[in-house]
Structure 1
Amino acid sequence: MKKIFKSSVLILLLNVALQTSAQDVAYNDMKNVPYIKPLKTKVIVNKSLEDGKYTYDNSIHKVIVEIEEDSYIEFYPKGEYIKAKMVWLSENEYELEIVDINKKNLPFKVGDKLTTTIQRNRGKRYYYESVYEDRSWTGKLTKIIEKK
């Protein structure tokens, strides 16, 4: 009986040692594998805003907004603009990442991100709230041209 017990303990210790060694090898091999970002798994189908042209008033003048797929561009007078990458987070919420900007007196710069939530819509009017860092504001987009 002692012989069987010693053999069982020896086999158990060898098994633990082999498993630990195998885990170390696997871990060390994984350190050299480059990180691969996971694919975006959530696809938003019913977005609040469709591709097309919109307008909003910023208290000084009207701003034209063009949305096409993942592109968002605001056009201001005198050739000023803001271009952003648009990523939908849900049916009523999207994130804009500024990719190019030619507009004075704004707190944004290339790489900045802001989040907008469509609060409600009435016909061609879309009421929203935008958040950038510790600031938030509300507004209204009005659809002027549908994308065909």
Structure 2
Amino acid sequence: MVEEPAFDVFSRHCASRGTLEHVTGRWGSLTMGALHEERLRFNELRRRVDGVSEKMLSQTLHALERDGLVHREAQPTNPPRVDYELTPLGRAVAEQLLGLIHLVEGRMPEVLDARRRYDAAREEAGTPAASR
């Protein structure tokens, strides 16, 4: 039996970095979160993930499917129907992501207060505020 190497996301050559990037990027995390709710067709998913382009959603789904996080099922109908859903691994990852998403959403008043303080301090110092 071949032993798998240890994975260390902090190492530049670690394969887990690519998957982490796919999962935690804006479109990956939103796509995973939307698919955690239900199985969706492409256009349903595109509407749910407001702001994603068709091209970006397609690229995101391909990357997540390649990583074994999303299952794509094409139905032999006319017109063709393609459904997307999370795999068991994808569901486990999405549950962790949703915990982070809910934490951030719930703490946004603190984040907005911090931004206001930061911008006010920069304004007083004559330094441009960070982009919003």
Fold-level similarity (TM above 0.5): no
Q: Per residue, is there more helix in 1 or in 2?
A: 2
Query: Shorter-chain TM-score: which interval?
Result: under 0.3
TM-score normalized by the length of structure 1? 0.19
Report which of the two structures shows the higher radius of gyration computed on alpha carbons: 1
Larger RCO (alpha carbons 8 Å, 6+ apart): 2
